[in-house]
Amino acid sequence: MAAPYDLNDDSVVVIIGSGAGGGTLGNELAQKGIDVVVLEAGARIEHEDFINDEWDSFAQLAWLDHRTTGGGWRVSKDFPNLPAWIVKAVGGTTTHWAGASLRFQEHEFKTLTHYGKVEGANLLDWPLTLAELEPYYAKAEDKMGVTRTNGIEGLPGNNNFKILKAGADKLGYKDCHTGNMAINSADRDDRMSCQQTGFCFQGCKWGAKWSTLYTEIPKGEATGKLEVRPNSHVVKIEHDDSGKVTAVVYADKDGTLQSQKARIVCVAGNSIESPRLLLNSASSKYPDGLANSSGQVGKNYMRHTTGSVYAVFEKPVHFYRGTTMAGIIRDEAKHDPSRGFVGGYELETLALGVPFMAAFLDPGGWGRSFASAMDSYANMAGLWIVGEDMPQEQNAVKLHGELKDKYGMPIPDVWFTDHANDIAMRNHAYQQGQAIYAAVGATRSFPTPPYPSTHNLGTNRMSEKPQDGVVNKWGQTHDIKNLFVSDGSQFTTGAAENPTLTIVTLAIRQADYLAREMGAGTI
């Protein structure tokens, strides 16, 4: 049923990436009758083939192409070639994500206005408002089946959640529940309900968690208007003398370079690959890379202020059982500068299996302190901190000066250093997280450092003025009318919330804009 398109067909919209942004956009356009080719760097692995084993799954799904890192973040020391824990497969990181689907708060679209100038930060207001996005948020929540929206019940709480909730109650937190999750609490949309299996990060073998792999993509394919080409690693976007983009060059499954002509190109390769691709597409007309007249491509790399708190109790918890992200406390998500920082953070339960707990609890740690923590694994509870980090120009995805990939393209070099605001927020969150667990009898707790980033944001940011950013409020690049960005790299600022719902929301809205403008013949 999937439509195969000719490489010389210059009427198609080419989308690079099949995750939350690309996969959603592809389906939305196909539903409107627009011809779409999605180029996906990874393989197509159906959900039945996902693996309930952390390292084996990591080998199956993770983006493991060579990358380097720099800057002051601890990830650069502990995992120097793994800045991000994201996915290279059809469905992108929607195979791996936990499912938390929260709308941004109104003030988070206007951080410069609400927080004021923050020394060393490159804050900017989004060129859109929550009110403008609300109808699209509603569509995204319905599409994804987000719990506690559209009359969908919340998921039942597992042991890890029950501990979080008991601690939240003791501390007087009011906004604590099992989350707004894009995980079916009952059968919906021809997908079954959550079986509390755990291994959400390894891909949901039941298909209960929303992923473009088994929702948007097959629905788009069923229209006959969407072709997904797996194992198609894009290396360059080409343009004509007028500056309009005309084709996308990619390496196919045999490593042979192919060129797909395009009417419109939408980049959705996540916040490391998307700017890398624009930079690697530099030409004599665009010597600094495509859509980079502002110099902001690759800059303002954000990854959320994260960290975890794990705690040990006298008795068993078995926190790995059930939904990985099984509940949330939202009370700290507000902007309240009296805490010593701007912006806010969410606290969400998290569990790792033994292999990943060993790798991430205290990277590089060893000895009795470490081993005794591992010995207490069955009695652990845990939460993840996700808060707004400050955009900073020097936090950036750059092209490596020497190292190249097998297609001869410079590899990405990912630089990040915490802003003082990020550190103050993380320390506050560590303190609160440890207090939550102490309140219910934890005998020991661990302020665990950030993992390689799953939330990669901001490297092609949205701005009102062309000199401040890369794309306008529709994700259309300021410089090139038929070149769009359709992933989290559009984010002007990161907000406290997990980004996927907003990426999907922007993709639905972008599809409307594309259809409108294509219909009007402006692009």
Q: What is the DSSP letter of 34?
A: -
Q: How many residues bind another protein (CB under 8 A)?
A: 44
Q: Which range in 104-112, 292-300, 363-371, 445-453 contacts another protein by CB under 8 A?
A: 363-371
At its nearest, how many Å lie between another protein and the CB of residue 360?
10
Burial class of 467 by CB neighbour count within 10 A (0 to 12, 13 to 18, 19+): exposed
Task: For residue 257, give both structure tokens.
Answer: 């370079």
Q: What count of Cα atoms within 13 Å lies in the side-chain half-sphere of residue 328?
A: 26
For residue 100, give the nearest of 183, 159, 198 by alpha carbon. Answer: 183
Using CB under 8 A, pick the residue from 130, 138, 171, 359 that binds another protein.
Answer: 359
Using CB under 8 A, pick the residue from 156, 295, 340, 519 that binds another protein.
Answer: 156
Q: Is residue 198 close enough to count as binding another protein by CB under 8 A?
A: yes
Amino acid identity for residue 507 in this structure: A
At its nearest, how many Å lie between another protein and the CB of residue 187?
13
At its nearest, how many Å lie between another protein and the CB of residue 195?
3
Q: Which range in 4-12, 114-122, 361-369, 474-482 contacts another protein by CB under 8 A?
A: 361-369
At its nearest, how many Å lie between another protein and the CB of residue 329?
16
Using CB under 8 A, pick the residue from 33, 224, 255, 355 that binds another protein.
Answer: 355
End-to-end CA distance of the chain: 28
Beta carbons within 8 Å of 256's beta carbon, 6+ residues apart: none
Q: Is residue 46 close enough to count as binding another protein by CB under 8 A?
A: no
At its nearest, how many Å lie between another protein and the CB of residue 444?
16
At its nearest, how many Å lie between another protein and the CB of residue 407?
28
Using CB under 8 A, pick the residue from 157, 344, 433, 475 that binds another protein.
Answer: 157
At its nearest, how many Å lie between another protein and the CB of residue 228?
26
For residue 504, give the nearest of 297, 236, 210 by alpha carbon. Answer: 210
Angle ∠(329,334,338) on CA atoms, nearest 5: 115
Query: What's the rounded Cα separation, in Å, for the pair 164 and 154?
Result: 16
Task: For residue 391, give both structure tokens.
Answer: 């955009």
Q: Which range in 131-139, 196-204, 426-434, 501-509 contacts another protein by CB under 8 A?
A: 196-204
What x-and-dash track marks residues 367-406 binding another protein by CB under 8 A? xx-xx--xx-xxx---------------------------
Among residues 11 and 52, whose Cβ is nearest to another protein? Answer: 52
Positions 64 through 123 that interact with another protein (CB under 8 A): none
What x-and-dash track marks residues 424-463 binding another protein by CB under 8 A? ----------------x-----------------------
Query: What's the rounded Cα separation, in Å, for the pair 381 and 351?
Result: 7
Query: What's the rounded Cα separation, in Å, for the pair 122 and 142?
Result: 34
Q: What count of Cα atoms within 13 Å lies in the side-chain half-sphere of residue 354?
A: 8
Tell me if 290 sits within 8 A of 480, measured CB to CB: yes
Among residues 113 and 443, whose Cβ is nearest to another protein? Answer: 443
Among residues 353 and 458, whose Cβ is nearest to another protein? Answer: 353
Task: For residue 189, give both structure tokens.
Answer: 């949309």
CA distances from 382 to 55, 132, 163, 315, 441 (A): 20, 36, 9, 15, 14
Angle ∠(414,258,515) on CA atoms, nearest 5: 80
At its nearest, how many Å lie between another protein and the CB of residue 353?
6
Positions 302 through 321 that interact with another protein (CB under 8 A): 314-318, 320-321
Q: What count of Cα atoms within 13 Å lies in the side-chain half-sphere of residue 360?
A: 24
Q: What count of Cα atoms within 13 Å lies in the side-chain half-sphere of residue 210?
A: 28
Q: Which range in 59-67, 108-116, 348-356, 387-395 contacts another protein by CB under 8 A?
A: 348-356
Tell me if 425 sits within 8 A of 306, measured CB to CB: no
Among residues 321 and 400, whose Cβ is nearest to another protein? Answer: 321
Among residues 287 and 366, whose Cβ is nearest to another protein? Answer: 366
Among residues 257 and 354, whose Cβ is nearest to another protein? Answer: 354
Burial class of 401 by CB neighbour count within 10 A (0 to 12, 13 to 18, 19+): exposed
What x-and-dash track marks residues 176-195 binding another protein by CB under 8 A? ------------------xx
Among residues 201 and 320, whose Cβ is nearest to another protein? Answer: 320
Among residues 370 and 407, whose Cβ is nearest to another protein? Answer: 370
Catalog residues that contact another protein under the rule CB under 8 A: 52-53, 55, 156-159, 162-163, 166, 194-199, 205-206, 314-318, 320-322, 353-355, 357-359, 364, 366-368, 370-371, 374-375, 377-379, 440
